[in-house]
Amino acid sequence: MRIFKATHLGMCFGVRNAITLANKVAATSQFSVLGELVHNNIVLDELRNKGVHFANSFQEIRYDTVMITAHGCSQKTIASLQARGYQVLQSTCPLVRYVHKTVRQFVENGFHPVVIGRRDHSEVRGVVEDLDEYDVVLTAEDIFNLKEREKYGVVSQTTQPINYVLELVNLLKNRFPNSEVCFVDTVCAPTKQRQDSAIELAKQCDVVIVIGGRKSNNTKELVNTCAIYCRRVYHIENVDELMLEYFIGAETVGITAGTSTPDETIDLVEKKIRLFADKLVPEAIIAAA
Ligand code: SF4
């Protein structure tokens, strides 16, 4: 069994920076993070063990200092935290800030903002919460249901696959041929690199293992993309979920991982697949005999 790793996989700089900041602050003081710092339970458990507290809502905040996650949040959220007397620390990824800035510029210039993404994702909520009027779309049906506007300003959640985003932008242009549609590509570079590498990998593998948190949007998108090119794609969050049965009959196995998956988890998964490969080889020889 041959094992391949995607050229680009695992943690991006935005997630690494957020974790570094959390570790640095945790070394000297206590604080709450509003939401999941990153969508990965292994990382979150490690931070909990160092005393970092995670609050799902304002009511659950335990300390005077509150950290905003890599996914960012609205100015409204920051203002209301500050009004309650909290010190706010931001680990918002610069590429998420770019989405906020682009949408602000659209509104200032009279464009109706449209965000391509998942409306329930914290990044998207953070982008739209400051807006009076906006639309969030993710399907052709969503585009079809839009009201006609003179000028649309379109951005994307950073972790959407760019090809799908472009399809929706074209659909919007075709749906409203008399409107001006201005699209700014805000899919982040690490997402694009991981998506492209996943396609390359899935095309040449019998089985693909995608490692990442169940709530991680970019991991889900990697699973979806790999499934287009490979029939046996498994999404696991940690090494314990890996099963020997996944690899029976496979000659080529690919490994990729979402942008919040730690390097250690990828290494453990790779080692276990190699152990499985050793176990499966004698079976294959016996079967062939
Ligand atoms: S996935 Fe992209 S936008 Fe999100 S933290 Fe990583 S680099 Fe930043």
Task: Note whether 110 and 99 are same-domain residues.
Answer: yes
- Res. 48: pLDDT tops 90: yes
Of the residues 28, 61, 93, which one is the last residue of a structural domain?
93
Task: Note whether 200 and 284 are same-domain residues.
Answer: yes
Task: Note whether 73 and 25 are same-domain residues.
Answer: yes
Task: Note whether 166 and 193 are same-domain residues.
Answer: no
In this prediction, residues 183-207 reach a mean pLDDT of: 97
208 within ligand 1 shell (Cβ under 6 A): no
- Res. 289: pLDDT tops 50: no
Q: Give 282's pLDDT tier (boundaries 50, 70, 90).
A: low
Give the pLDDT of residue 215: 86
93 within ligand 1 shell (Cβ under 6 A): yes
Instruction: Name the percent of the chain lying above pLDDT 70.
Output: 97
Specify the pTM: 0.89
Task: Note whether 39 and 109 are same-domain residues.
Answer: no
Task: Note whether 197 and 264 are same-domain residues.
Answer: yes
Whether 133 is catalytic is no
- Res. 179: pLDDT tops 50: yes
Q: In CATH, what number is assigned to the domain containing residue 28?
A: 3.40.50.11270
Query: Residue 206 C-alpha to ligand 1 middle, in angstroms?
Result: 29
- Res. 288: pLDDT tops 50: no
In this prediction, residues 107-115 reach a mean pLDDT of: 98
Q: Which pair of structure tokens corresponds to residue 247?
A: 């690899």
Q: In CATH, what number is assigned to the domain containing residue 284?
A: 3.40.1010.20
Q: What is the mean pLDDT of the chain?
A: 94
- Res. 278: pLDDT tops 90: no
- Res. 287: pLDDT tops 50: no
Query: Residue 262 C-alpha to ligand 1 middle, in angstroms?
Result: 14
Task: Note whether 79 and 146 are same-domain residues.
Answer: no
- Number of domains the chain contains: 3
Domain that holds residue 81: 13-93
- Res. 286: pLDDT tops 50: no
Atom of ligand 1 nearest to the CA of 159: 1
In this prediction, residues 240-266 reach a mean pLDDT of: 95
Q: Number of C-alpha atoms within 13 angstroms, CB side, residue 182?
A: 14
In this prediction, residues 39-62 reach a mean pLDDT of: 93
Catalytic residue among 36, 46, 60, 123: 123
Q: Give 241's pLDDT tier (boundaries 50, 70, 90).
A: very high
Mutational pocket test of ligand 1: of 68, 122, 159, 186, the residue with most ligand atoms within 8 Å of the beta carbon: 159
Mutational pocket test of ligand 1: of 215, 217, 259, 261, the residue with most ligand atoms within 8 Å of the beta carbon: 259
pLDDT digits (tens, 9 = 90+) for 145-162: 999 999 999 999 999 999
Of the residues 71, 93, 115, which one is the last residue of a structural domain?
93
- Res. 144: pLDDT tops 80: yes
Task: Note whether 165 and 250 are same-domain residues.
Answer: no
In this prediction, residues 89-117 reach a mean pLDDT of: 98
Between CA 12 and CA 247, with CA 4 as vertex, the angle to 5 degrees is 115
Task: Note whether 84 and 118 are same-domain residues.
Answer: no
Task: Note whether 38 and 79 are same-domain residues.
Answer: yes
Query: Residue 12 C-alpha to ligand 1 middle, in angstroms?
Result: 6
Q: Would you list the DSSP string of the chain?
A: -EEEE-SS-S--HHHHHHHHHHHHHHTT---EEES-SSS-HHHHHHHHHTT-EEESSGGG--SSEEEEPTT---HHHHHHHHHTT-EEEE---HHHHHHHHHHHHHHHTTPEEEEES-TTSHHHHHHHTT-SS-EEE-SHHHHHTPPP-SEEEEEE-TTS-HHHHHHHHHHHHHH-TTSEEEE-----HHHHHHHHHHHHHHHT-SEEEEE--TT-HHHHHHHHHHHHH-SEEEEESSGGG--GGGGTT-SEEEEEE-TT--HHHHHHHHHHHHHHHHHHHHHHHHHH-
Instruction: Name the percent of the chain lying above pLDDT 90.
Output: 91
Query: Residue 168 C-alpha to ligand 1 middle, in angstroms?
Result: 21
- Res. 250: pLDDT tops 80: yes
Q: Do 38 and 18 form a contact (C-beta atoms < 8 A)?
A: yes
Task: Note whether 256 and 278 are same-domain residues.
Answer: yes
Q: Give 238's pLDDT tier (boundaries 50, 70, 90).
A: very high
Task: Note whether 51 and 80 are same-domain residues.
Answer: yes
